[in-house]
Amino acid sequence: MKQNPKDIPVVESLRAGILTRDGFMGEDTRPFTQIIMDDAALLASAGFTLQEITDKMAELTKAGLTATGAPVDYQGFIITVEEYMGKLSCPFRDHRAPKRNTEVINQHGQRMSWTDLSIHLIKAHGFFQGKGSPYRLEPDELAAFLFTE
């Protein structure tokens, strides 16, 4: 499939060393549009929407911000938020997010982490990042992590 010329700036921004050291694609060779479609199918098969997932991620990050740098117990999750100076630009060129990492441990002892930019990428673009990216979140695993009791 031929690349849409309007996607060229996005493709460039997704590469390592442009907006972030590691980029957003990892070793994934699929076009970002295919990654988005494949992840949408995974999320649908898990029975959740982008809105449900990102609302819960944002809720947990907000809860963790009540004690930045220290663990917070919130609704069965242990949340630690670390903030750093500066902002990260969205590769789709529509947002700048604070440099913030949220690490969450669920009631089963499983850990997941994300950034504020990850929340934006998922909510606004349906982009969970490419396989092998340091901040890649598997949609079905994320849904199970956030909503399994």
**pLDDT at 17 exceeding the cut of 90:** no
Residue with tokens 């909510």: 123
**pLDDT at 96 exceeding the cut of 70:** yes
**pLDDT at 13 exceeding the cut of 90:** no
- Name residues whose C-beta falls within 8 Å of residue 91's C-beta, 6 or more positions apart in sequence: 10, 13, 14, 18, 19, 24, 121
At residue 143's C-alpha, the angle toward residues 142 and 146, to 5°, is: 85
Structure confidence by residue, pLDDT tens digits, 30-58: 999 999 999 999 999 999 999 999 999 99
What's the whole-number mean pLDDT along residues 60-80?
Answer: 95
**pLDDT at 124 exceeding the cut of 60:** yes
Q: How confident is the model at residue 12 (pLDDT cuts 50, 70, 90)?
A: confident
Q: How confident is the model at residue 97 (pLDDT cuts 50, 70, 90)?
A: very high
pTM of the model: 0.91
Q: How confident is the model at residue 5 (pLDDT cuts 50, 70, 90)?
A: low
